[in-house]
Structure 1
Amino acid sequence: MTTPESVVRALAEPTRLRAFAAVVLGAGTLADIAAASGLKVKDAGTALSKLREAGLVEGEPARPADLKPLAATLTESMPAGGLAPFVRGDKLISLPVAHERRRKILEHVASHAFTPQTYYEEKEINERLKAWCDGGELDHVTLRRYLVDLGLLERGGGLYQAQPLPM
């Protein structure tokens, strides 16, 4: 089964990437793939075999596999509204520098991590934000500070309250 991970893994190796590019550009035989990619025939053959195993190339002569179902899956899982470079699923990858885009990303996190008008203890806030930060560039403390600074979380009396987002 072709997954986003298997595609990245297959194309991360430069020889396979060059061979795949040759196939996409119309090379179908091993000799054509080697010539178009600048690879030795043996290296092109090895790359072509790995690309077939990964489900990226099919048939004889070689042609790109139909990756439309994979593309549809990726598109469905990506957040809308320009969030894709910064958010993957329920993980915050990074924050943009531009204030308006940063606010939009932080509103997205707040709306998915907290219920408006609900009080949370700091421990629970930290747990919820740690889950968002796992594997990203930010830590939960910085993220919490940004949410408070923007008024998306209010702090007082040892509790935090999630604020409703503007419409």
Structure 2
Amino acid sequence: MTAQALAGALADERRRVVFAAIVLGARDVPAVVARTGLPARDAATAVRRLTDAGVLTDDDNAGLRVDADRLREFARAAAVAPAAPTADPRQTILRTFLRDGALTRLPAQRGRRRVLLEHITERTFEPGLRYPERAVDEALRPWCEGGEADHVTLRRYLIDDMLLTREHGVYWRTGP
């Protein structure tokens, strides 16, 4: 059983209620129905899914019970298993707001917007070069094609975040 399988087995409210009823002593579907108030069909379906997931066992002698051994094995395996590497938050933000090299929209959250603006700046403008406003607009238009943002708004954010500087209609890269 994996963490995902366990979470999936207990994701449904009815299955959690059935699981709790069995933990508290219900040993068959009629007892689960009596304790939970669920319709018999819903209770039986929840028992079957929990049993299929390996969370419950249906022993002929003892009836329904939580498979504590299986849960212990799962806990041990999870404690020993190395943690999955976390995704780079910067890449997650870029995947969220860029599609095929164009902005889908600008993030409302300032930190996320900053990551996106830095990415655009690094890929669009060379450090030390000066650009007339028309060249800046032409460079930013492809980023905005098909999305909710426009190149003027994008240019304004780049200036406000001090990634570009403007003086007398000439722009240059000042940020990363």
TM-score, structure 1 normalization: 0.49
Larger Rg: 2
